């Protein structure tokens, strides 16, 4: 069974940093692209980052580019999100989500498995 | 950035009724649209990918259609567990974007 478990959320002050982790199990982590998606309280979903399977190629949304860094450790089956210079508008539940691959092996830019999310609150 | 506009914002319906939700893209995304269902306190669940393909384990009452800029998600007969928020998402180009969601609530 595919499992994604996020951790590392909490309450921080504006300008501070936080590192989120996503522990994966139940599939060959090193073969899959992974993503971070967030959801502000009572709001919709916002994709913020994608990592290639090796971690050599990373995409970011403009809203976090230059402040957030995604990385992964395939030996530890883990995805990370380093968040610096946090702002009040970064307050959200942060999900890690696996990129979908079709039965034929084609990578499709959708999300087929999600973690339960971890809440990040940025407030003074 | 491709903007996805979902309508309506909220729908109030009774179990057994059918429903069609709309998602419009600001430019063509071909068939690269997915639909997700999200219930309170839960992560989203993938329902439909590539506009019309049901994801694994999704009941046949869910169907998707459309191409280019206009897409639909149809639920043929609402079950009690279908009352939730539905999001569309485009997987055609970076940045990946979601629509604002349609809430389907019990009348």
Give the model confidence (pLDDT) of B1-33 as tens digits. Answer: 999 999 999 999 999 999 999 999 999 999 999
Chains A, B: CB contacts under 8 A, how many?
59
DSSP chain A: --EEEEE--EEE-TT--EEEEEEEESS-GGGS-EEEEEE-TTS-EEEEEEE-SSSS-EEE-TTTTTTEEEEEEGGGTEEEEEE-S--GGG-EEEEEEEEEE-TT--EEEEEEEE---EEEEE--
| Residue from the list A35, A45, A114 with its beta carbon closest to the beta carbon of B98 | A45
pLDDT tens per residue, range A24-35:
999 999 999 999
Q: What pLDDT shows up at residue A51?
A: 98
Would you state the structure tokens that stand for residue B42, as one six-digit string? 């839960």
Longest CA span, chain B: 38
Residue A110 region, left (φ>0) first, then alpha (ψ -120 to 50), else beta? beta
Q: What is the mean pLDDT of residues A61-88?
A: 98
**What is the average pLDDT across A83-98?**
98
Average of pLDDT values for A68-92?
A: 98
Band (pLDDT 50/70/90 cuts) for residue A22 is very high
Chain B residues near any Cβ of chain A (below 8 Å) = 1, 32, 34, 36, 38, 43-46, 49-50, 55, 87, 89, 91-92, 94-101
- Distance between A71 CA and the closest CA of chain B, angstroms: 18
pLDDT digits (tens, 9 = 90+) for B38-52: 999 999 999 999 999
Mutate to test the interface with A, among B43, B50, B90, B92 (most CBs of A within 10 A): B43
> What average pLDDT does this structure show over A50-65?
97
Rounded mean pLDDT of B40-68? 97
Q: Over chain B, what is the mean pLDDT?
A: 97
Partner residues linked to A64 by β-bridges: none
In this structure, how many other beta carbons lie within 10 angstroms of the beta carbon of residue B1? 12
- Asked if pLDDT for residue B97 goes beyond 90, the answer is yes
The pLDDT of residue B37 is 98
Is the pLDDT confidence value at A105 over 90?
no
* pLDDT value for A40: 98
**Residue B85 in this model has a pLDDT that exceeds 90:** yes
Q: Would the CB atoms of B98 and A47 count as touching at under 8 Å? A: yes
- What's the gap in Å between the CA of B91 and the closest CA on chain A? 5
Residue A103 pLDDT greater than 90, yes or no = no
- Whole-angstrom Cα distance, residue A113 to residue B43? 9
From A73, A97, A124, A67, select the one nearest A6 (Cα to Cα).
A97
* Mean model confidence pLDDT for chain A: 97
Give the pLDDT score at A59: 96
Nearest to A44 among B55, B87, B95 (CB): B87
pLDDT over 90 (residue A107): no
> B27 CA to chain A: closest CA distance, Å?
17
DSSP state of B94: S
Mean pLDDT of A43-68: 97
């Amino acid at each position: 069974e595919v499992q994604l478990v996020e951790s590392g959320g909490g309450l921080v002050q504006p300008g501070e940093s936080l590192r989120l982790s996503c522990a994966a199990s139940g599939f060959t982590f090193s073969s899959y692209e992974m993503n971070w998606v967030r959801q502000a309280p009572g709001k919709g979903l916002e994709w913020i980052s994608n990592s290639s399977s090796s971690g050599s190629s990373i995409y970011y949304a403009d809203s976090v580019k230059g402040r957030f860094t995604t990385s992964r450790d395939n030996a530890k089956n883990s995805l990370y999100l380093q968040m610096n210079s946090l702002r009040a508008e970064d307050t959200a539940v942060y999900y890690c989500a696996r990129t979908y691959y079709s039965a034929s092996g084609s990578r499709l830019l959708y999300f087929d498995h999600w973690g339960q999310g971890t809440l990040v609150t940025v407030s003074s | 950035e491709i903007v996805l506009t979902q309508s309506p914002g909220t729908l109030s319906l009774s179990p057994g009724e059918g429903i069609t939700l709309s998602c419009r893209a600001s430019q063509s995304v071909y068939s690269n649209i997915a639909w997700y269902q999200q219930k309170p306190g839960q992560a989203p669940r993938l329902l439909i990918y590539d506009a019309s393909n049901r994801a694994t384990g999704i009941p046949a009452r869910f169907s998707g259609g459309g191409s280019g800029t206009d897409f639909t998600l149809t639920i043929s007969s609402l079950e009690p567990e279908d009352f939730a928020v539905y999001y569309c998402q485009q997987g055609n180009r970076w940045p990946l974007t979601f629509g604002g969601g349609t809430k389907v609530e019990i009348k």
